[in-house]
Each structure stands twice: as structure tokens, then as C-alpha cells.
Amino acid sequence: MNLRRDVFQAIADPTRRAILLLVASQSMTAGAIASNFDTARPTVSKHLQILTECELLEQEQNGREIYYLINAKKMKEVADFIEPFRKMWDDRFNKLETIMKKYKTKK
């Protein structure tokens, strides 16, 4: 099995990306994650299983609850790890430039 390819398949799915984004800002239980989606709970569980299997998510036992947290190290192994972050700033700066060019012509 090509695990690396699986990682890309994992992040290609929009629901799984949304889950990653949720968990990236805060570790959460499966229930808390599922409450953010209208999708059936077993579907969310399946997504969590896939993300955990390819090690993008880690599980952490906290009392009786299992929390999911992001595995930054694994995310980093995915090609172009920093590209989305760069792209985000590029988009922002493009916007800044557009706004200020209009601002300039207004004056």
C-alpha cells in the first residue's frame, strides 16, 4: 500500500480538509467534530479513521474522552507543505495592492 498516496487522497476530500482545519485550531472529540457537520455521525467517524490511519490526525486519551489532534509533523511531509500558507499571504497582499492602487487613483 502506498501510504504517501493515501495522504494526498485524504486531503483531497473537502470534508476531511474541513475536519483538519477544525482540529488544527483546537483538539476535539469525535462528537464535537461531528456537531460541525450535517453529515451522519458514522460518515464523520469514517473520515476520522482515514485521517488517523494516514497519521494526519493523532488520538489522545483524556479521561474517558478521546481527543483528535493534528499531526503537524506528518502534515509537513506532504509535498508543498508551506505552499498554502504562502498562497494565503500572496492572496492577502494581492488584495492589499489592489485596494491601495484604487486608493491612489482616488486621491
Partner 1 sequence: MEQKTKLTAEDGKQEIVITREFDLPLELLFRAYADPEIVGQWMGTKVLKLENKNHGGWKFQTADAQGKVLFQANGVIHEFIPNQKIIRTFEMENTPFGVQLEFLEFERLTDDTSKLNMHTIYRSVADRDKMLGLGMSQGANMAHNRLQEVVGKLK
Residues that bind partner 1 (CB under 8 A): 11, 14-15, 17-18, 20-27, 36-39, 70, 72-73, 75-76, 78, 81-82, 84-90, 92-97, 99-101, 103-104
The DSSP letter of residue 13 is S
* Least distance to partner 1, CB of residue 100, Å: 5
Considering the complex, state which of residue 66 and residue 72 has its C-beta at the smaller distance from partner 1: 72
Q: How far apart are CA 59 and CA 55, in angstroms?
A: 10
Closest CA to 29 of 44, 7, 18: 44
Closest CA to 55 of 83, 77, 34: 77
* Least distance to partner 1, CB of residue 43, Å: 10
